[in-house]
Structure 1
Amino acid sequence: MKKIFSLFLLALLALSLTACGSKDGDLDYIKDKGTLILGLDDSFPPMGFRDDADNIVGFDIDLAKAVADELGVELVLQPIEWTAKEQELATKNIDCIWNGFSVTEERLAQLTLSIPYMENTIAMVVVKDSGIKNKADMAGKRMAVQGGSSAEEALNSDANKDFRESLGEVNGSFKDYVTALMDLETGNSDAVLMDSVV
């Protein structure tokens, strides 16, 4: 069983690393330098976040550690501005992105992505007594969303054009979901569009 898991991890790493830079030799590049620099959003629980001791932990972090251990390299966790994730990859400031990186047609054309290892949906979060029960109830209201997130991509998609245009305001300048949720809590937004895994 351990061997099968190890092979899965190596395959996942090989695929995800080529998603992050040049098309060939990424695995050799990582092994030769002895480190795997993982770009992540460190405020994205349960995938990657800071615990009470300020350590970066989470599901994706555990998976990345297992892959780094299997390769015999050091894992370096590098929090990044989520809106700059593709630029961080292109400039080789990081070797890969391992949390909340959704598969899109544009990314498939530009990168080689790992096989998806979890399904996620986008959810609209509102305060309990808001009276907002569905998308139609958001007409003329204020929507908060993390900049560069899957939720922002979904909101800006052609499929959601009518919904987006029905909103009174969309604020996509939030650097993370925590800040967007605080905006909701203070009443500055009527809803937050975000990953359901959070």
Structure 2
Amino acid sequence: MKLKCFTIALMATALSVATAAADQLADIKSRGTLICGTLGTAEPFSFANPSTREIVGYDIDLCKAIADDIGVKLQMKPMSVEARIPELVQARVDVLAGNLGYTPERAQQIAYTTAYFVSLQKLLVKADSDFSKIDDLAKSRISAPKGSSSERYVREALPQATLLTFQDPPSAFMALAQSKVDAMILSEINAEKFVAQTGQKFKFIDQPVAEEFWGLGIRKNEPALLEQVNATLKRLEQSGEGQKIFDKWLGETTAYKMKKPFKFDKAVSDPVLRPAS
């Protein structure tokens, strides 16, 4: 019995060592393909081109740059929000580019690359209002999508404000449009759509309430692949190619009219709150 238990323990140890020694980057090179997981429904990050039905976007261009640097072909795999981390952990994708904001809980399950996007949580007000900074709204009425990170951020940054929550962003925006609230909080990239659709009748408070860092997801204990992806992001930052990709999908000539507020070689971290002074 003791010998049998010892044999089982030895086999388990060997399996553990073999797993730890696995090199995903080498496997990708051997396979000749990098499998990149994306949402496929999150414009402008990854979405179907209406004309060709091909999945395109900001995430796709970054995954293509990573594949090119490794010297392999790119294969995209669309997935749901709920499936993102399980698909990565279960090795069905090599890299995850799926609007993956950093949280300590997620960091226990997967490894994050350096930042490839920073989602700015901003307050939106009517263009003719006198509000110009966060603390102008310290005791105002503010709308937010129910259960969202936006709701949590405004509760922390403006604890004396009256917060009205709604089932979805369009409903929260409608409350602002109908003057039921003084401001709405939402990620800038989503709120920008409402501004574009309403003929610039609204404006942002320039200072963000919070900054959410997004990283690409890599399975844990894959240092070679993590180093390779980070090296690509650093190259994109230093060469200016990353700025071009950002401008192509999110820049000031697009519907989002955004400026790149981050560097690809900056480490991801907990959201940064910008409370009213």
Deviation at 1:135, TM superposition (A): 7.3
Query: Which residue number in structure 2 is paired with residue 65 of structure 1?
Result: 64
Q: Normalized against structure 1, the TM-score is what?
A: 0.58
- Partners of 1:135 and 1:96 lie apart in 2 by 41
Structure 1 residues 123-134: aligned runs within 5 Å: 123-124=122-123, 134=137
What residue is the counterpart of 2:186 in the other structure? 193
Contact 1:40/1:82 (8 A) holds in 2:
no
Distance 2:66 2:175 in 1: 42
135 and 46 in structure 1: CA distance in 2 versus 1, 3 angstrom threshold: farther
Confirm or deny: 8 A CA contact 2:38 2:59 kept in the other structure: no
Taking a change above 3 Å as real, the CA distance of residues 116 and 167 of structure 1, as seen in their structure-2 partners, is same
Question: 1:136-166, CA deviations, whole angstroms, 9 ceiling, x for partnerless residues?
Answer: 5445x4x337x9xxxx345447973976x95
Contact 2:77–2:93 (CA under 8 A) maintained in structure 1: yes
Alpha carbons 1:154, 1:160 under 8 Å: kept: no
Cross-structure match for 2:33: 35
Give unmatched runs, 5+ long, in structure 1. Answer: 1-21, 175-179
1:38-74 deviation digits (Å, cap 9, x = unpaired): 1212233333233232222222211211221232322
Which structure has the larger Rg over C-alpha atoms?
2
Distance in 2 between residues matched to 1:24 and 1:193, nearest whole Å: 41
Distance across 2 between alignment mates of 1:44 and 1:160: 28
For residues 24 and 90 of structure 1, do their structure 2 counterparts lie closer, same or farther at Cα, with a shift above 3 Å needed? Answer: same
Q: Are residue 160 (structure 1) and residue 159 (structure 2) matched? A: no
Report the CA distance between 1:110 and its aligned residue: 2.8
Percent identity of paired positions between Structure 1 and Structure 2: 25
Distance 1:155 1:32, change over 3 A: farther
Alpha-carbon separation, structure 1, partners of 2:21 and 2:141:
43
1:144 to 2:145 alignment: yes
CA distance in 1, matches of 2:26, 2:154: 40
Q: Give how far 1:102 is off.
A: 2.3
Note the residue ranges of structure 2 that are not aligned, 5 or more in a row. Answer: 1-19, 132-136, 190-249, 251-255, 257-277
Distance 1:169 1:111, change over 3 A: same
- Name the CA distance, whole Å, in 1 between partners of 2:32 and 2:138: 48
Q: Closer, same or farther in 2 for the Cα pair 1:123/1:45, shift >3 Å?
A: farther
CA distance in 1, matches of 2:111, 2:21: 8
Shift of 1:27: 1.0
Q: Distance in 1 between matches of 2:54 and 2:32?
A: 22
Equivalent AA in structure 2 for residue 81 of structure 1? S
Q: TM-score, normalised by structure 2?
A: 0.44
Cα distance in structure 2, aligned partners of 1:159 and 1:144? 12
Q: 1:100 to 1:195 in 2, by over 3 A?
A: farther
Question: Which residue in the other structure is 1:17 paired with?
Answer: none
Aligned to 2:43: 45
Are residue 107 (structure 1) and residue 106 (structure 2) matched?
yes
Are the structure 2 counterparts of residues 31 and 125 from structure 1 closer, same or farther at C-alpha, using a change threshold of 3 Å?
farther
Runs of 4+ in structure 1 deviating by more than 6 angstroms, as ranges, are none
CA contact (8 A) 1:36 1:76 kept: yes
